[in-house]
Amino acid sequence: MRARVAGDTGGFSLRRFNMLVLGVVLGTALFWGSAYAGFLGFTSVEGAAFSALLLLALVVADVALGGFLARVQLHGRAASWRREEKGVGLFIGGSIFVGALISGLFLGAMIVLDTPPSHRSFFAFAAGPGLGLVYGMIYGMPALVGSTIMELRLRARRGDS
Amino acid sequence: MDFFASWDVLGISLVLSLRFLGPFALGVSLIAWAAFRPSRTGLRLSSLLGIALGLLMCIAPVVLFLVFDPFS
């Protein structure tokens, strides 16, 4: 019994931590991917159309990956663990939010370091963190929806409440 | 131009991406929720309305961009 409790606790937190790292990496990749897609939109009307398509694909991939991460985390869980794993969608959406926020803070630091001290305005300081917050919300929401749908479907299949 | 050396340009491109990305995120989320949420009754009128609204959210920024073409 003692070994089972210890195993449950360790396994649960490790999986949770892995999921957090995966979500943060995914949020970072989505942030820089949309920076690249926006960069393409500068070139021409065709570039802007391609950029819009790329952004749509990123959002669809975000929903699908959110669902996939929830499935990976909830798949094969024992009955005693399921009660602890409510809110998986919120956790995955939150970790993607954190990834985008970290990227925004990094971008903000680079913008400030790239600006001469005499030209550093409020916008130079606020741009990066603001973009990180906005992108965190924008990419967190579809992932939250995808993972919550997967969580609810798995629970409905198992007959949980 | 070096992509990762022009940080302010990256910031501007991120801001400009928001005009597409925001409506896309909301629209795709609406479509996914309306179409794939677990329901005993299957696709109902409310689900179809959600899908239609999501499609509208996705199409609207593209149409508006084409109407107010910044390159012309």
Q: Which residues of A touch B7 (CB under 8 A)?
A: 107, 110-111, 114
Helical H runs in B37-68?
45-67
The tokens describing B31, both together, are: 């479509």
**Cα–Cα distance for residue pair B59/A51, rounded to 1 Å:** 14
| DSSP code for B37 | S
pLDDT for the residue A6: 43
What is the rounded average pLDDT of the residues A32-43?
86
At residue A4, does pLDDT exceed 70? no
Instruction: Give the minimum alpha-carbon distance from B8 to chain A in angstroms, rounded to a whole number.
Output: 6
More confident residue, A131 or B71: A131
At residue A160, does pLDDT exceed 70? no
**Cα–Cα distance for residue pair A37/A52, rounded to 1 Å:** 8
With CA atoms as reference, the chain B residue closest to A42 would be: B13
Tell me the per-residue pLDDT of B52-65, one tens digit each, with 9 for 90 and over.
Answer: 999 999 999 888 88
Confidence of residue A161 (pLDDT cuts 50, 70, 90): low
- What whole-number percentage of chain B has pLDDT above 90? 43
- What whole-number percentage of chain A has pLDDT above 70? 83
Query: Could you write out the DSSP letters of every residue in chain A?
Result: -HHHHHHHHHHHHHHHHHHHHHHHHHHHHHHHHHHHHHHHTTT-HHHHHHHHHHHHHHHHHHHHHHHHHHHHHHTT--HHHHGGGTTHHHHHHHHHHHHHHHHHHHHHHHHHHHS-GGG--HHHHHHHHHHHHHHHHHHHHHHHHHHHHHHHHHHHHHT--
A52 close contact with B: CB closer than 8 A: yes
With CA atoms as reference, the chain B residue closest to A35 would be: B14
Residues of B with CB under 8 A from a CB of A: 3, 7-11, 13-18, 20-22, 24-26, 28-29, 32-33, 36-38, 58, 61-62, 65, 69, 71
At residue B50, does pLDDT exceed 80? yes
The tokens describing B7, both together, are: 């940080």
Amino acid at A16: R
With CA atoms as reference, the chain B residue closest to A103 would be: B11
* pTM reported for the whole predicted model: 0.85
Tell me the per-residue pLDDT of A117-130, one tens digit each, with 9 for 90 and over.
Answer: 888 888 889 999 99
Tell me the per-residue pLDDT of A100-158, one tens digit each, with 9 for 90 and over.
Answer: 999 999 999 999 998 888 888 888 899 999 999 999 999 999 999 999 999 888 888 77
Residue ranges of the domains in chain A?
2-31+59-156
pLDDT for the residue A2: 43
pLDDT for the residue A117: 87
- Per-chain mean pLDDT for chain A: 84
Tell me the per-residue pLDDT of B30-44, one tens digit each, with 9 for 90 and over.
Answer: 999 999 888 777 678
Whole-complex ipTM:
0.86
